[in-house]
């Protein structure tokens, strides 16, 4: 029985070491799955800032274009006004004279309205240029910071992929060190179907994995340590710290 105790203790130690590697691999894989999403969020954030900045730039261009069109229109109306004033001196009848005066008055009102609109828009353009300058400077800072964050995450991703490869290679070596292939297949079957952890501690009279109370016979089998004992509910392998803490040479005393 002492031989079986020692054998099970060694198997448990090997499986626990393998499980620790699997837990590390799982943590690395989870982190690797998160990084692309985080990079995507950063890229989306940068693109949104760029979109808003471009919107501001387009708005400024529109204001400038609108004012340019007003200046062209004002120039045309001022030219028409100049021509009408010249024509006014050449009119012979009172009716034509009054009609021309009305047209000149209307042109003057249009010119006044356009001049006022141009001045108002010029003030708006100046304010918009100031706001745009601030936002462009802010965007440049954000762009540098976000790109640095993305670069850091890509570097982390690269390092984690390397670590994952190393851990998977190490796991392969650990598997080769487990002589009992039935035990290894049993462990891998539970891992594939239940995930990690495969081995859990006995918590009082309960399975440390699913917390179900184990039958007395199962508990006795765990303490006897003649074989690996699985939980009847979650199928995980249940063990006790006591069997691991026993001195390998204790059976000789």
> Whole-prediction pTM value?
0.75
Give residue 252's pLDDT.
38
Distance in angstroms (rounded) separating the CA atoms of residues 55 and 183: 64
Distance in angstroms (rounded) separating the CA atoms of residues 32 and 83: 77
Q: Which two tokens stand for residue 44?
A: 């989306």
What values do phi and psi take at 203, rounded to 5?
Answer: -105, 90
10-residue stretch averages of pLDDT, the chain, 253 residues long: 65 96 97 98 97 96 96 96 91 90 94 96 96 96 98 98 98 93 95 95 95 96 93 95 70 37
Digit-coded pLDDT (tens) for 150-195: 999 999 999 999 999 999 999 999 999 998 999 999 999 999 999 9
Comparing CA positions, the residue from 74, 51, 53, 52 lying closest to residue 121 is 74
If one counts every other C-beta atom within 10 angstroms of the C-beta of residue 18, the result is 23
38-47 LR contacts (CB < 8 Å, sep 24+): 38/153, 39/150, 39/153, 39/154, 42/146, 42/149, 42/150, 42/153, 43/150, 45/146, 46/142, 46/143, 46/146, 46/147
Cβ(171)–Cβ(21) under 8 Å?
yes
Q: What structural domains and CATH numbers belong to the chain?
A: 25-177 (1.10.287.1490), 181-252 (no CATH)
The position carrying tokens 């229109």 is 73
Element (H, E) at 235: none
Residues present in the chain in total:
253
Rg of the chain over all Cα atoms, to the nearest angstrom: 42
């Amino acid at each position: 029985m002492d031989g079986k105790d020692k054998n099970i203790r060694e198997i448990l130690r090997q499986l626990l070491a393998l499980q620790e590697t699997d837990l590390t691999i799982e943590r690395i894989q989870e982190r690797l799955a998160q990084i692309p999403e985080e990079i995507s969020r950063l890229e989306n954030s940068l693109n949104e800032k760029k979109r808003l900045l471009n919107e501001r730039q387009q708005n400024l261009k529109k204001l400038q274009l609108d004012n340019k069109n007003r200046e062209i229109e004002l120039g045309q109306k001022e030219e028409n006004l100049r021509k009408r004033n010249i024509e006014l001196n050449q009119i012979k009848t009172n009716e034509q004279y009054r009609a021309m005066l009305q047209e000149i008055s209307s042109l003057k009102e249009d010119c006044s309205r356009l001049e006022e609109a141009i001045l108002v828009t010029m003030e708006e353009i100046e304010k918009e240029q100031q706001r745009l300058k601030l936002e462009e400077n802010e965007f440049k800072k954000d762009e540098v910071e976000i790109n640095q964050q993305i670069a850091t995450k890509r570097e982390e991703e690269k390092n984690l992929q390397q670590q994952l490869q190393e851990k998977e290679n190490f796991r392969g070596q650990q598997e080769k060190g487990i002589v009992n292939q039935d035990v290894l297949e049993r462990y891998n079957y539970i891992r594939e179907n239940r995930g990690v952890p495969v081995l859990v501690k006995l918590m009082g009279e309960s399975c440390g994995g699913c917390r179900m109370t184990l039958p007395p016979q199962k508990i006795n089998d765990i303490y006897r340590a003649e074989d690996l004992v699985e939980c009847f509910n979650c199928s995980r392998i249940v063990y006790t710290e006591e069997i691991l803490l026993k001195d390998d040479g204790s059976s000789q005393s």
